[in-house]
Amino acid sequence: MGLISLVTGISGPSGFGSSSTAEEVTKGVDASRITAIVTGGASGIGAETSRVLALRGAHVIIAARNLSAAADVKEKIVRDIPGARVDIMKLDLSSMESVRSFASEFTAKRLPLNLLINNAGVMLCPFGLSKDGIEMHFATNHLGHFLLTNLLLDTMRQTAKESRIEGRIVNLSSVAHIAAYSDAIRFDSLNDKTRYVDRGAYGQSKLANILHSKELSRRLAAEGVNITANAVHPGFIMTPLMRYSKNLMKFLKFFSSFLWKNVSQGASTTCYVALHPNLKGVSGKYFSDCNEARPNTLATNEELAKRLWEFSQKLTT
Give the closest residue to 286 by CA, choosing from 242, 228, 237. Answer: 228
Non-local CB neighbours of 28 within 8 Å, separated by 6+ positions: none
Give the closest residue to 152 by CA, choosing from 105, 88, 119, 94. Answer: 105
Cα 286 to Cα 198: distance, rounded to the nearest angstrom: 23
Annotation says 181 is catalytic: no
SS3 174: coil
Order of strands, edge to edge, in the sheet holding 286-288? 85-90, 59-64, 35-39, 115-118, 167-172, 227-233, 286-288, 291-293
Give the closest residue to 60 by CA, choosing from 27, 84, 29, 40. Answer: 84
Cα 289 to Cα 293: distance, rounded to the nearest angstrom: 9
Q: Are 34 and 117 in contact (CB under 8 A)?
A: no
Give the closest residue to 140 by CA, choosing from 193, 243, 215, 209. Answer: 209
Q: Which of 196, 202, 272, 286 is catalytic?
A: 196
Residues marked active site are found at 196
